[in-house]
């Protein structure tokens, strides 16, 4: 086992099992290859890593669950800090707030909040890290009702390049607080966030699946419904072509399928049936699970994989789309090697600027497109998936807004933008103040800095 100087306890080098544990990622197509790593369970672990990086002339990179490993710049020539801060999720029922330590997944927040009749603006997967999802914007199934998830952040605790532990909020370093919320990273190592919760004891959620041959009629009906859909309802439509695998439900691997899933919050079956009735009239579903349930069930609705996988993909925000053009590149007979290609319904509160929000506090688009393929699956190689992503991008380019939602970005190489030049300039000024030597420069997302 390779060892390091005793002055830097916890630092692991390649060849050490602790190095492998700290560098594991969810997207196996983008492994992390730092020069050293540490699993940070305390603030002192973080300070040690920063000192080690300074002594060896390298930068510092940060991850928690590694779901976004392909969306950030490759982790090389740096010390990697994996955040797994202790303390657990603490819920303040009186103020409807939760303090969440960095490294905690959304499942931990839901488990802590649900017994109190509260819900959180979580993502679609239980294993995704809370901090990364929130500070990169975060589109929740609740966002059409309450806005982007990042707008729920009330305070951020972080260690900056000087080793200082800071707590920032609207009253304490508001410029840094603004920057952290959607500013693209590179400010320090976040150790915890404090977020708003909201009352919710029941929701309507589920998934309906049809054979993909019915895609033209289903896509047309869903698109018509989204035009005037109430904010209480949020849905996604996906074309899926999943090969038979041990943990994949048979209904998904029986052939290409179209799935529509979502959540109805603070509303009745009437809203759900306004959507589902016309869709069910198009064709008989293979599976239909929509039902009233508790908010904890929402984490299972989207059926995201729980285990790491290697995938490649692309993402765009669209102001509209043409049904025929969309199906021509991802529908039946298109030759698509993508395992999933879909559209997430946006609008509602997602499109409304939050006067108290951060650098990213709303998105002006009607749909979020994302598509992914898994090299090694039938018909899918790195080359075929990459080529097909380019084909889809070309087909949807007439409706591309030119902007992206950071949590949907599939590759750091793809075109992406969520900030305007004035915001970028403001962010650079804040980074120059809190990280004058660029210790965290590698963690800055594309289009988030002019330097």
User: Is the pLDDT confidence value at 267 over 90?
Assistant: no
The SS3 of residue 131 is: helix
Quick count: other Cβ atoms within 10 Å of Cβ 115?
Answer: 10
Closest CA to 139 of 119, 123, 161, 115: 123
Burial grade of 335 (CB within 10 A; 0-12, 13-18, 19 or more):
exposed
- Could you tell me the pTM of the whole model? 0.96
CB within 8 Å of 3: residues ≥ 6 apart: 13, 16
Dihedral Cα 75, 76, 78, 83, nearest 10 deg: 20
CATH fold for domain 203-408: Vanillyl-alcohol Oxidase; Chain A, domain 3 (3.40.462)
pLDDT band for 115, please (50, 70, 90 cuts).
very high
The answer to whether residue 100 scores a pLDDT higher than 80 is yes
- The confidence score (pLDDT) of residue 3 equals 62
Q: What are the pLDDT digits (tens) for 296-350? A: 999 999 888 888 899 999 999 999 999 999 999 999 999 999 999 999 999 999 9
Residue 1 has pLDDT above 60, yes or no: no
DSSP secondary structure, 363-420, as one string? ---SEEEEEEE-BTBTT--HHHHHHHHHHHHHHHGGGB-S---GGG---TTS----S-
Residues 41-59 have a mean pLDDT of 97
Percent of the chain having pLDDT more than 70? 99
Helix axes 269-282, 215-227, angle to 10 degrees: 150
Q: Are 82 and 39 in contact (CB under 8 A)?
A: yes
**Cα–Cα dist 103/75, whole Å:** 18
Query: Lowest mean pLDDT: which of 152-156, 188-192, 272-276, 313-317?
Result: 272-276
Average pLDDT for 11-31: 95
**Mean pLDDT over all residues of the chain?**
94
Which of the four pLDDT bands, split at 50, 70 and 90, describes residue 247? confident
Tokens describing residue 40: 């940070």
- pLDDT, position 407: 96
What is residue 307's predicted lDDT score, i.e. its pLDDT? 87
Q: What is the CATH number of domain 90-199+419-435?
A: 3.30.465.10
CATH of domain 17-83: 3.30.43.10
Domain 17-83 identical in fold to domain 90-199+419-435: no
Helix (H) or strand (E) holding 106: helix 106-113
C-alpha to C-alpha distance for 210 and 216, rounded to whole angstroms? 12
Provide CB contacts within 8 A for 390, sequence distance 6+: none
Q: Assess contact for 64 and 83: CB atoms under 8 A.
A: yes
HSE-up of 212 (CA within 13 Å, CB side)? 24
Q: pLDDT digit string (tens) for 134-180?
A: 999 999 999 999 999 999 999 999 999 999 999 999 999 999 999 99
pLDDT of 189 > 90? The answer is yes
Q: Which two tokens stand for residue 389?
A: 């992503």
Specify the pLDDT at position 2. 59
Q: For residues 374 and 110, give the distance between their C-alpha atoms in angstroms, rounded to a whole number.
A: 30
445: tokens are 């997302």
Q: Residue 184's pLDDT is what? A: 97
- At residue 326, φ and ψ (nearest 5 deg) are -65, -50
Span 232-247, average pLDDT: 89
Q: Which two tokens stand for residue 288?
A: 């239909």
Per-domain boundaries in the chain:
17-83, 90-199+419-435, 203-408
74: which DSSP letter? P
What would the mean pLDDT of 397-417 be, rounded to a whole number?
95
Residue corresponding to tokens 């209904």: 251
Give the side-chain half-sphere CA count within 13 A for 274: 18
Region 191-200 average pLDDT: 97
Does residue 18 sit in helix, strand or coil?
helix
Residue 246 has pLDDT above 80, yes or no: no
């Amino acid at each position: 086992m390779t060892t390091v100087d005793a002055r830097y306890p916890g630092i692991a080098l390649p060849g050490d099992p602790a190095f492998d544990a700290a560098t594991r990622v969810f997207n196996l197509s983008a492994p992390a290859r730092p020069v050293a790593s540490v699993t940070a369970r305390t603030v002192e672990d973080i300070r040690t890593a920063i000192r080690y990086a300074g002594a060896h002339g390298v930068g510092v990179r940060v991850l928690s669950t590694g779901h976004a490993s392909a969306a950030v710049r490759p982790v090389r020539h740096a010390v990697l800090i994996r955040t797994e801060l202790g303390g657990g999720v603490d819920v303040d029922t009186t103020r409807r707030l939760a303090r969440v330590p960095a490294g905690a997944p959304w499942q931990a927040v839901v488990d802590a909040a649900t017994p109190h009749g509260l819900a959180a603006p979580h993502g679609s997967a239980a294993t995704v890290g809370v901090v990364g999802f929130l500070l990169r914007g975060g589109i929740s199934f609740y966002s059409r009702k309450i806005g982007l998830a990042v707008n729920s952040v009330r305070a951020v605790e972080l260690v900056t390049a000087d080793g200082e532990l800071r707590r920032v909020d609207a009253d304490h370093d508001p410029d840094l607080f603004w920057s952290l919320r959607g500013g693209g990273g590179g400010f320090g190592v976040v150790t915890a966030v404090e977020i708003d919760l909201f009352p919710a004891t029941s929701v309507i959620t589920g998934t309906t699946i049809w054979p993909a041959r019915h895609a033209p009629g289903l896509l047309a009906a869903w698109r018509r419904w989204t035009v005037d859909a109430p904010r209480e309802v949020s849905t996604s439509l996906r074309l899926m072509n999943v090969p038979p695998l041990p943990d994949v439900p048979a209904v998904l691997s029986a052939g290409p399928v179209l799935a529509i899933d979502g959540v109805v919050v603070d509303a009745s079956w009437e809203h759900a049936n306004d959507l589902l009735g016309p869709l069910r009239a198009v064709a008989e579903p293979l599976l239909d699970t929509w039902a009233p349930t508790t908010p904890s069930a929402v984490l299972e609705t989207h059926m995201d994989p729980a285990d790491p996988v290697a995938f490649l993909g692309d993402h765009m925000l669209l102001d509209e789309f043409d049904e025929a053009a969309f199906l021509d590149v991802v529908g039946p007979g298109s030759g698509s090697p993508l395992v999933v290609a879909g559209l997430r319904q946006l609008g509602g509160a997602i499109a409304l600027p939050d006067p108290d929000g951060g650098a990213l506090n709303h998105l002006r688009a009607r749909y979020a497109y994302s598509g992914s393929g898994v090299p090694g699956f039938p018909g899918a190689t790195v080359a075929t998936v990459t080529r097909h992503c380019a084909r889809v991008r070309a087909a949807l380019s007439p409706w591309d807004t030119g902007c992206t939602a950071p949590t949907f970005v599939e590759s750091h190489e793809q075109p992406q933008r969520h900030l305007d030049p004035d915001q970028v300039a403001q962010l650079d000024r804040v980074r120059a103040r809190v990280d004058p030597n660029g210790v965290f420069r590698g963690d800055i997302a594309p289009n988030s800095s002019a330097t």
